[in-house]
């Protein structure tokens, strides 16, 4: 794994400077049923295609951001700082 990831703050860097926290998920708004809770904790869409995921610039500026990466080719289409309002709008 050696692709370059474009940190929104620092620019393109070796992917090993970062930690990945996986697919972006939506946390239940209020007390979920056991089924909803299990879904939230364990199940992921795990697409073979473009995935929106969390990245942390661990060895650099230490910001958390989101990336859209094609899991088949590791091509990173975009990276952007997380905006809670925008995520809200997107997941509606």
Partner 1 sequence: MRLPARPGERLDRSREVAFSFYGKPVKAFEGDTFGSALYASGQRIFSRSFKYHRPRGLLCCSGSCANCMMTVDGVPNVRVCAEPVREGAIVRPQNVLGSLEHDALVATDKLGGPFTPVGFYYRTMIRPRWAWPLYEKFLRNVAGLGKLDKHAGRANRYDVEHRRAEVLVVGGGRAGRKAARKHAAAGRQVVLVDEGFVDPLEGVDVISPGRALGIWEGGLVPIDAGHVLYRFRAEKIVVATGTIEQPLVFPGNDLVGVMLPDGVRRLIEDWGIKPAEQAVVVTVDEAGREAAAALEEAGVRINGVYDLRRERVREIVARGRGGVLRSVEIDGRKLSCDLLVMSGGRQPAYSLLAQVGARVEYDPERGVFIPTDIPDGIEAVGSVAGEGLDGAVPAASYNGASGKGKCFVCVCEDVTDKDLKRAIGEGFDSIELAKRYTTVTMGPCQGRLCHVPSIRLYARENEKDEATIGTTTARPPWAPVTLGLLAGRPHEPAQRTSIHHRHKELGAKMMWTGTWRRPHSYGEPEGEAKSVHDSVGVIDVSTLGKMIVRGPDAAEFLERLYPNRFGDMKPMRIRYGVLNSDAGRIMDDGTIARLDDETFYVTTTSTGAGAVLEWFEWWNAVWGKDVEIVNVTGALAAVNVAGPRARAVMRSLTGIDLSNEGLSYLDARDAQVAGVPSLILRIGFVGELGYELHFPSPYGEHVWNAILQAGEDFGIRPFGLEPQRILRLEKMHILIGQDTDSESNVLEANMPWIAKLDKDDFVGKWSLEHVQERGLQDLLVGFEMEDGTVPLEGAQVVLEGTRPIGRITSSRWSPELRKAIGMAWVPAEIAEEGKSFLVTVDGGFERATVRLRPFFDPDGERLRS
Partner 2 sequence: MSDLAFLSPGRASTEAMWRSPLERALQGAPPEISDLSLTGKVEVRGKLPKSVKGGDLVRITPNRGLVLCDFTKTVALLEKLSEDLFAIDVSASLAGLSVRGEAVMRRITDLDLDALPAAGAVSHVQAIVTRDGDSFALWFAQEYSDYLAEVVIDAHEGLRR
User: In the complex with partner 2, which residue's Cβ is closer, 40 or 64?
Assistant: 64
Q: Judged by CB under 8 A, does residue 82 bind partner 2?
A: no
Min dist CB 49 to partner 2, Å, is 30
Number of Cβ within a 10 Å radius of residue 80: 13
Among 20, 32, 63, 68, binds partner 2 (CB under 8 A): 63
User: In the complex with partner 2, which residue's Cβ is closer, 54 or 71?
Assistant: 54
Q: Judged by CB under 8 A, does residue 10 bind partner 2?
A: yes
| Strand ranges in the chain using DSSP code E only, listed in sequence order | 4-7, 11-14, 19-23, 50-56, 64-70, 76-81
Among 23, 39, 54, 61, binds partner 1 (CB under 8 A): 54
Chain Cα centroid distance, residue 68: 7
Task: Please tell me the count of residues contacting partner 1 according to CB under 8 A.
Answer: 25
User: In the complex with partner 2, which residue's Cβ is closer, 30 or 62?
Assistant: 62
Rounded-to-integer distance, Cα 67 and Cα 77, Å: 7
Rounded-to-integer distance, Cα 44 and Cα 19, Å: 18
């Amino acid at each position: 794994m050696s692709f370059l990831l474009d940190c929104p703050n620092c620019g393109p860097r070796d992917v090993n400077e970062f930690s990945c926290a996986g697919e972006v998920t939506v946390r239940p708004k209020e007390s979920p049923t056991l089924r909803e809770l299990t879904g939230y904790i364990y199940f992921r869409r795990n697409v073979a295609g473009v995935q929106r995921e969390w990245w942390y610039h661990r060895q650099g500026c230490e910001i958390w951001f989101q990336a859209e990466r094609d899991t088949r080719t590791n091509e990173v289409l975009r990276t952007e700082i997380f905006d809670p309002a925008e995520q809200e709008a997107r997941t509606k």
